[in-house]
Amino acid sequence: GNVIGVFTSGGDAQGMNAAVRAIVRVGIFLGCKVYYIKEGYQGMVDGGDNIQLATWESTSSTIHMGGTLIGSARCLDFRERPGRLKAAKNLVELGITNLIAIGGDGSLTGANLFRQEWPGLLRELVDTNQITMDRLTTCSHLNIVGLVGSIDNDFCGTDMTIGVDSALHRIIESVDEIMTTAVSHKRAFVLEIMGRMCGYLPLVAGISSEATMVFIPEDPPEGDWRQGLCDHIKESSKTDARRTHIVLVAEGAIDRFGNIIKCSDVQKVLTERMNMDVRVTVLGHVQRGGRASAFDRIIGTRMGTEAVLALMDAGPETPACVIVLHGIDIVRTPLMKAVETTKLVGQKMSELNFDEVVNLRGRF
Ligand code: ATP
């Protein structure tokens, strides 16, 4: 049977455990051996106890848990060829020639590079007597499938990434909680929401929580945002006798000149120009925390299942794919196109308008 290695890399996201569970169980069901590669690429490079055979039972009672139980890490060693050579040796020794990478665009870029280098890495391992010629023959191709675990929803080619829905739940719960105290004291609140390159979380949280204003990186306010915010509050106060205002600010929110809009900037405007009592709350890692929502458990499970099936279908010439959500369908899309488009959006964010960003982030 095939031998599969699964790892999580980059920032953790709720629903990663559901994906790992599905990969292990579908893999075993189909007669494969599945290995956990712990601590992301670091575990792959270091080998030893970091690479462990997964059992069916080892995934029991994990589907609901947030974070990633097999650990995640940023790994400098894997960025250099000598690190990838060590990783290749560790995989080949266990006969692992199928990898499922669960992470963001960086992790998937690394996986694709590894795949391209694989024949050269194995040749070097034979030439330096680290593996036998037999091993090279049985492990000549590395198949890669990617899953996107990221609370930001910043990955191009998928409608949703694993973890976004749970993060939204955390944000909305926090806003609801803040509302009760805000209303009591007629205070305004400015909340910083995660999303350096992507305003999906603050935007959708804003819609679901009646926020007064949302600032996101993709759509810098036209004109003077300070004046715009004050005008909007004055105008809306005429028709809506609100006791509070909530403003959501993405970490990467910018003004029309490309300068970051900070929560403290918004607080200053509301305090000085509107004479409001304003508090700032940075939600921070609360957004990544807690249980996975039903939606993330389900897309994690469906994407994990599809990833194993994609590996079973893959041959030496099959391009690497990433498993994505299109509407209600789980489908395969070319990994490199998705990664490159994601990078492009990041680099060109300030030159693109909102519709262009949305189009590029769409399906292909
Ligand atoms: P997040 O969206 O949470 O930041 P990510 O997967 O984009 O997730 P990165 O820190 O960019 O997070 O990448 C995770 C790891 O993947 C890195 O620490 C590194 O080991 C590996 N990696 C990233 N880019 C490359 C690359 N170009 N070549 C080799 N390895 C890479």
pLDDT at 276: 94
Q: Point out the residues that are catalytic.
A: 152
pLDDT at 342: 94
Nearest CA to ligand 1 atom 13: 106
> From the CB of residue 360, how many other CB atoms can be counted at a distance below 10 Å?
16
Tens of pLDDT, residue by residue over 59-69, are 999 999 999 99
Nearest CA to ligand 1 atom 11: 106
Q: Write out residues with Cβ below 6 Å of ligand 1.
A: 9-11, 41, 74-75, 78-79, 103-107, 109-110, 113, 150
pLDDT at 2: 95
Nearest CA to ligand 1 atom 2: 104
Spell out the SS3 assignment of 316-360: CCCCCEEEEEECCEEEEEEHHHHHHHHHHHHHHHHHCCHHHHHHH
Tens of pLDDT, residue by residue over 78-114, are 999 999 999 999 999 999 999 999 999 999 999 999 9
Q: What is the mean pLDDT of the chain?
A: 95
In degrees, rounded to 5, the angle at the alpha carbon of residue 296 between the alpha carbons of residues 47 and 79 is: 30
Residue 147 CA to ligand 1 centre (angstroms): 14
**249, 216 Cβ separation under 8 angstroms:** no
Residue 92 CA to ligand 1 centre (angstroms): 22
Range 278-287 average pLDDT: 95
Mutate to test the pocket of ligand 1, among 7, 8, 9 (most ligand atoms within 8 A of CB): 9
Cα–Cα distance for residue pair 364/361, rounded to 1 Å:
9
pLDDT at 182: 86
Mutate to test the pocket of ligand 1, among 37, 50, 79 (most ligand atoms within 8 A of CB): 79
